[in-house]
Chain A
Amino acid sequence: MLKGSFSAELDTEVRNRKILVFISCVLFAFLILSGRLFYLQYIRYEENYQNSENNRQRKVVLKAERGSIFDRTGKVLVRNRPSYQVVISARELKDKDSVFARLLNIRDAAGERVFDSATVDTAFQRSRWIRNRPLRILEDASPEQAALIEERAMDLPGVMTVVESRREYPYETMAAHVFGYTGELSEEELKKEEYQSYSLGDRLGKKGLEQQYEEEFRGRDGMKYVEVNAYGREVGLIQGMETQEAIPGHHLITTLDFDIQAAAEAAFPDSMRGAVVALDPRTGEILAMVSAPRLDPNIFSLRRRERNKGWAQVALDTTHPLTNRAISGVYPPASVFKLVSAGAGLEYGFVRPTTHMSKPCTGGYQFGSRYQRCWGTHGSLDLVNALRLSCDTYFYQLGLLMGMEPINEFGRRFGLGSVLGVDIPGERSGWLPDSVSFNARNKRSGWRWTRGLILNLSIGQGQLVTPLQEAALVGGIATGKGVYEPHLMKEIRDVDHELVMRYIPSKVHQGEMKPETHQMLLDAMDSVVNHPGGTGRRAALPGIRVGGKSGSGEWKKGEKTHAWFVSVAPLDNPQIAVATVIEAAGGGGAQAAPVCRKVMEAYFKKYPAVKEVQP
């Protein structure tokens, strides 16, 4: 091409070649694209298809509804409430920065921020490596907050509200120690073998019935396969993938009676510490169980911050509200134990009901160089009157006469010194000391068994018993037909209230004794309540023959005594046995007996006393 020889017309041959070059380029490019298409759509088809399916398919766990707890008449005591959780799903979370900003800008009607920036930030950080499960950014949101999130759903890809069910205790502190509470499984716990069937975020029963009957309450989680869109929202079920419905947990019908429990709770204000146990001595059914100070198990269903606050409050409380004093609190049985001492004396033939001791009560008893005091001056008494007036001097001598072995043996017949097997965890066995176990226990401190200890032990200072054991003891003595395993589970029913399981009472201690012994102990308990001068007159009920025994346990010099009262009614055919202990309250007859009376009152208002039917 020379300079100047420029024509507006192209050389045909050159032009044709260029057109061919252009068309070859097009062909070449399209062939490469087709090759790539072939690779993606034919060779890698399976993999890509699977990816697209995985994109839209999610396995959703259908949480089983936890079973509720009812009282023996069918009144609901513990139930579930819906609880909204706001979660983020890492797989759907796009454009984290703007979602983060939007979340923090959400304010409720009061102008308060709904989300806590630290919590959300942590969850966002964690979402980088935890991609297969949702992470919670707001726990137990109010319905108003949940609605706020749902309204903005389209602006918040990957943010969802899910409904969980949480425990609700409508009567708050009532029988809280019996029910226990539920708590979320921690990640550490989840690694353990026994929690293999749980998944993260599951709540399980801790303490009380919630723990004991966890397997029954739990039910079985179901599963469904859903199609989701890119925002992680469900658009429908996937055909061909079967849905496994969740099987709701079983309901528990407790032996508790709402009215009796309420009466016991009312009779035992939170200002007092101690416990009340009422049971049916014929079957071992626990009708009421109170432990004070109380706690409100609802705090364990709150969101984390409030939960921790409530938890700290009860855990650090020096009065130990977390302890169920009815089964885990051990106290010296005090004068109540005189029933055992007297029973042992009769059973082994050391004394008869009319036996007087060698020394009358002059306000105390001289043992060697020690003068052991009595709480009053009673003169010379027979056994029945000694029990009625709770004369220490009489029992010092009775104890010395027998030694500890017959006393402890008689006590064991009614389950003292061992666990009774109540169906909530935490029961303690108490302690019936004799020379061997005393020396074994005090090995380290070097204290040795001396005969002088019998003086204290024979009036119940030194043993350890739980209120539950005391109730079982008095019930067993009154019926004379042995001690039944105390229990709280009456029936287990499925979600449609069809019977699944019924508790069959079982005798755990024979409680055998001679008829004379039985009769004498009945007379003594009768006289404690119904005779003038009896220590338990405040437990008397009009028209019903109530038996009982008071006790005032010394536990610390200079402090008021623990007030004990055990009662049983009606004496001729016992239907209810009640044990009350009030810590550091004073005399048992004055302080604890009215509590027992109120409980029995509530019982007989509902269930009339029946005359014993002779076979």
Chain B
Amino acid sequence: MKNSVRLLDNTTKIDWFFLLLVFVLMGCGLALVYSATMNSSEEWIKSYWFRQALHFAAGTLIAFLFVFVKIDYWKKIAFPFYFVVLLSLIYTTFGGGTTTNGAERWIDLGFFRMQPSEFAKIAFLLALSSWLSKHRVSLSQPKTLIVPMLIFIFPFLLVLKQPDLSTALVFTSVTLVSLFWAGFSLRELFLFVSPALSVLLSFSYIPYNQFFWGLLIVMVGILLFKMRFPVKLSVILVCLNLIAGYADDLVWNSLEDHQKERVDTFLDPMKDPRGVGYQVIQSRVAIGSGGMLGKGFGNGTQTNLSFLPEEHTDFIFSVLGEQFGFVGCVFILGLYFLFLWRGISICWLHSDRFVNLVVASACTIFLFHIVVNIAMTLGMMPVTGLPLPFLSYGGSFVFTCMMLVGLLMNMRYHGDELDVNYK
């Protein structure tokens, strides 16, 4: 590492390049929120960009507080925190709190409207990482999966009930990556998710779904055979797959109306060009009309004339695409890539399980948000309502992101203290 620039030095306790990336992204976010809402006649102190700046300032403060927490402390509070969040989730799911837009639920704390599902992401991450850092998991020994699955299933079902499908999928992705980090091989992971894939493939919307499903079953069979899986387990897995293959109606009926609608309009946005499909179409048009270099800052006609719905929150990427074009979008994607790379690199430094798990999970949360949100604005995925880290407006989500940033920095800062235990 002698030749590397100091900025990229992996041996420093604080990754200044990572921090720089965070602040550059925040700056871009502020600019975009400003341009998305510049038409509103609010005075500047009440404007979105100013409130977002306050969120960022508070978030940065939280992140720096997090840096100095001892890692053992995280392990200690992981489960208590998890249960508190679980309770508040139960409270909001079963009628408590206030709702907006039928989906997001808040607990009004007077000075701040708390969104338990946001904090649940962090609590869940800590709890799962803390368990998996102490226990071994293996697919061939299903007993080892019971506790992690329990940790996963409660918040998952609760947010699904809210209904907040996207957050539920965040939990799922974090669980999968954590299992991977905790010892699953890719093949095991594939077998593990195969029933879920079967459900997905049972939907006739997917072209050649029957063919792919057949392929899936065959692959599962081959893998089970090659990995010399216990026979009993193998049979159960295959049966699960077969049953799941016919579960489309069951799953479809369990979806909330607005979720069905969103899936429907994703498949055919023109079906309802004024309703849910409207967002998708307008967002695609906004991004596409940006062209290579974009229309220039503040010149987005789609944005300025409020054709884009929720442009400052979920659809902030379309604002970017319209004003800065392909170059701007790729620049931001590049920043995100560097950000995730610097984040996951923390794993190179430390071999402690907890540190690794927390870092991988935190990076997964970021990755999942980034990919799903951008894919949604590009019309590649159903509209899910996941915000884009650092760019989207929204207090709770900024705090979540900054807490995760704080966690990542904390892992880097204090990780080596744990390393000595093993040397």
Contact = CB atoms under 8 A, between A and B. Distances in A.
Given A26-B340, A94-B274, A15 B326 contact: no
Contact of B326 (A42, A94, A227, A228): A42
Given A23-B341, A26-B340, A33-B371, A48 B285 contact: yes
Interface in B302-345: 302, 304-307, 321-322, 325-326, 329-330, 333, 336-337, 340-341, 344-345
Contacts of A44: 288
A1 B421 CA distance: 22
Interface stretch (A50-58, A167-175, A328-336, A525-533): A50-58
Contacts of B148: none
29 contacts: A7-B422, A8-B133, A8-B421, A9-B353, A10-B351, A15-B181, A19-B347, A21-B186, A22-B177, A26-B340, A29-B367, A29-B371, A33-B333, A33-B374, A34-B330, A36-B380, A41-B329, A42-B326, A47-B288, A48-B284, A48-B289, A51-B285, A52-B302, A56-B301, A93-B274, A94-B274, A95-B275, A227-B301, A229-B306
A53 B322 CA distance: 12
A37 interface: yes
Interface of B: 133-136, 138, 177, 180-181, 183, 186, 274-275, 278, 282, 284-292, 301-302, 304-307, 321-322, 325-326, 329-330, 333, 336-337, 340-341, 344-345, 347-348, 351-354, 356, 360, 363, 367, 371, 374-375, 378, 380, 421-422
A49 interface: yes
A231 B304 CA distance: 12
Contact of B330 (A37, A231, A235): A37
Contacts of B274: 93-94, 96
B322 to A, nearest CB: 8
Interface in A1-44: 1, 3, 6-10, 12, 15-16, 18-19, 21-23, 25-27, 29-30, 33-34, 36-38, 40-42, 44
Contacts of B337: 26-27, 30
B25 to A, nearest CB: 15
A49 to B, nearest CB: 4
Contact of A40 (B135, B284, B360): B284
Given A15-B356, A19-B344, A230 B307 contact: yes
A45 interface: yes
Contact of B378 (A21, A30, A33, A231): A33
Contacts of B180: 18, 21
B289 A52 contact: yes
Return the 8 tightest CB-CB contacts between A and B, nearest first.
A48-B288, A52-B289, A229-B305, A40-B288, A41-B326, A230-B306, A230-B307, A9-B422
B292 A55 contact: no
A228 B133 CA distance: 58
A235 B305 contact: yes
Contacts of A10: 181, 351-353, 356
A538 B325 CA distance: 92
A42 B186 CA distance: 36
Interface of A: 1, 3, 6-10, 12, 15-16, 18-19, 21-23, 25-27, 29-30, 33-34, 36-38, 40-42, 44-45, 47-49, 51-53, 55-56, 93-96, 227-231, 235
A56 B305 contact: yes
A229 B306 CA distance: 6
A55 B302 CA distance: 8
A9 B363 CA distance: 20
Contacts of B333: 30, 33-34
Given A8-B354, A9-B422, 5 more contacts: A6-B135, A51-B288, A52-B288, A55-B302, A55-B305
A145 to B, nearest CB: 26
Contact of B305 (A12, A19, A23, A230): A230
B352 A9 contact: yes
Nearest to B340: A26
Nearest to B322: A52
A56 B344 CA distance: 44
A55 B307 contact: yes
Contacts of B306: 229-231
Contacts of A230: 305-307
Contacts of B322: 52
Nearest to A36: B378
A16 B348 CA distance: 7
Contacts of A49: 288-289, 291
Contacts of A48: 284-285, 287-289
B336 A41 contact: no
B112 to A, nearest CB: 28
A397 to B, nearest CB: 87
A481 to B, nearest CB: 71
A94 B273 CA distance: 10
Contacts of B356: 10, 15
Given A40-B284, A41-B287, A47-B288, A55 B367 contact: no
Contacts of A93: 274
A94 B292 CA distance: 31
Contacts of B378: 33, 36-37, 40
A22 B363 contact: yes
Contacts of A1: 136, 138, 183
B134 A8 contact: yes
A38 B287 CA distance: 10
Given A56-B305, A94-B278, A45 B138 contact: no
B291 A41 contact: yes
Contacts of A42: 291-292, 326
B335 to A, nearest CB: 11
A95 B279 CA distance: 13
Contacts of A55: 282, 285, 301-302, 305, 307
Nearest to A91: B274
Nearest to A4: B136
Nearest to B306: A230
A52 B286 contact: yes
A51 B336 contact: no
A39 to B, nearest CB: 9
A227 B299 CA distance: 14
Contacts of A26: 337, 340-341, 367
Nearest to A40: B288
Contacts of B284: 40, 48
A40 B287 contact: yes
Contacts of B134: 8
Given A230-B305, A231-B306, A22 B344 contact: yes
A128 to B, nearest CB: 10
Contact of A41 (B307, B321, B347, B363): B321
Contacts of B291: 41-42, 45, 49
B353 A8 contact: yes
Nearest to B366: A26
A211 to B, nearest CB: 42
Nearest to A47: B288
B146 to A, nearest CB: 16
B363 A12 contact: no
A42 B287 CA distance: 10
A385 B360 CA distance: 127
A19 B343 CA distance: 11
A38 B22 CA distance: 26
Contacts of A95: 275
Contact of A56 (B307, B340, B347, B352): B307
B71 to A, nearest CB: 12
B351 A15 contact: yes
B376 to A, nearest CB: 11
A53 B291 CA distance: 13
Q: Which among B186, B304, B326 has the greatest number of chain A C-beta atoms within 10 A?
A: B326
Contacts of A47: 288
A135 to B, nearest CB: 15
Contacts of A23: 340-341, 344
A231 B39 CA distance: 14
A610 B422 CA distance: 131
A12 B288 contact: no
